[in-house]
Amino acid sequence: MPSGLVALLDDVAGIAKIAAASVDDIGAAAGKAGTKAVGVVVDDAAVTPGYAMGFTPDRELPIVAKIAVGSLRNKLLFLLPGALALSAFAPWAVTPILMLGGAYLAFEATEKIIEMFVPHGDEVATDELALSGPELEKQKVAGAIRTDLILSAEIMAIALADVSGMSLPIQAAALALVGVVITILVYGVVALIVKMDDIGLHMAKSPRAPTRKFGRGLVKAMPVAMSSLAYIGTAAMLWVGGGIIVHGLHHFHLTPIPAWVEGASHFAGQVPGIGAVTGWLATAIGSAIVGLIVGGVIAGVLHFIPRKKAAH
């Protein structure tokens, strides 16, 4: 019995070591994969607050919570199994799917830019006025979850590309961890953004003069911050979408566009002292230009087809 117990304890210790090593592998894989997806995370955090704005303060956090739950459902119930199936049966398809997603992001950003010059918000506003509060909330949440599905697919695909060489259980655990952590991070930031004006109002009622002053400043700054966030979200869509397309072209050895972007980054990176920053900016700008061109072509085709049909 004692020797059997010692053997059992040895087995348990061995299993514990294997489990600990697996946890380390999962954590390292998730960290590496999550870092590569940071651009899409910025995009997600910049785009989502707009869906929760315009409602009464008591509905803002419930709306963010509904979108967050939908985002988790997108990642864990739909995208995670799909990503693992791709990894197991069609790893060659990951890059083309990423490029399609990048093209979609670029198209969405280009549409936003076009709308700045050719606005059609009156029609949308009229449609929204015809809806009741709960109906409008349901519509906004559904729209946010659809947008999140595309962004989450990009996050999971980018993460998958980074862990594709590992075992299937490690891939599954790492992707699940990336999905959960990024969702908590993004929607925590979104919740903070949409409640920032309420936080400012609360601080403005403080008996302490510095707190009141800071609170009033916060309230005044929020419209500018939300407007800036919309521009940042559009820029991030172009940068991320174009960057994914450039990476895909490089993967398939389709030059010279990737070489141009890399050359511009290398040239800008030679600035003394701030080379890392200027090199990154050159890559981001080059990627955004590619995204704008691709998005413009798609937008042009999609706007041309309805007109052609209408002409007939």
pLDDT tens-place string over residues 209-225: 999 999 999 989 988 88
Cβ-proximal residues to 56 (8 Å cutoff; 6+ apart), any chain: none
- Distance CA(236)–CA(250), nearest Å, equals 21
- Distance CA(288)–CA(113), nearest Å, equals 13
Whole-number pLDDT of residue 170: 79
Whole-number pLDDT of residue 42: 66
Whole-number pLDDT of residue 2: 52
Give residue 78's Cα distance to chain centre: 17
As averages over each run of 10 residues, the pLDDT of the chain (312 residues) reads 50 44 51 55 70 78 92 92 87 86 88 82 50 77 83 80 77 84 87 88 90 91 83 84 91 92 94 91 94 95 69 55
Q: How many Cα atoms are found within 13 Å in the side-chain-facing hemisphere of 289?
A: 10
Whole-number pLDDT of residue 16: 41
Instruction: From residue 300, give the alpha-carbon distance in Å to each of 171, 193, 261.
Output: 39, 34, 24
Residue whose token pair is 């959960």: 180
Residue-wise pLDDT for 169-210, tens only, equals 878 888 888 888 888 988 888 888 888 888 999 899 989 999
- Distance CA(247)–CA(95), nearest Å, equals 9
- Distance CA(158)–CA(164), nearest Å, equals 10
- Distance CA(3)–CA(185), nearest Å, equals 49
Phi and psi angles of residue 254, each rounded to the nearest 5 degrees, phi first: -100, 100
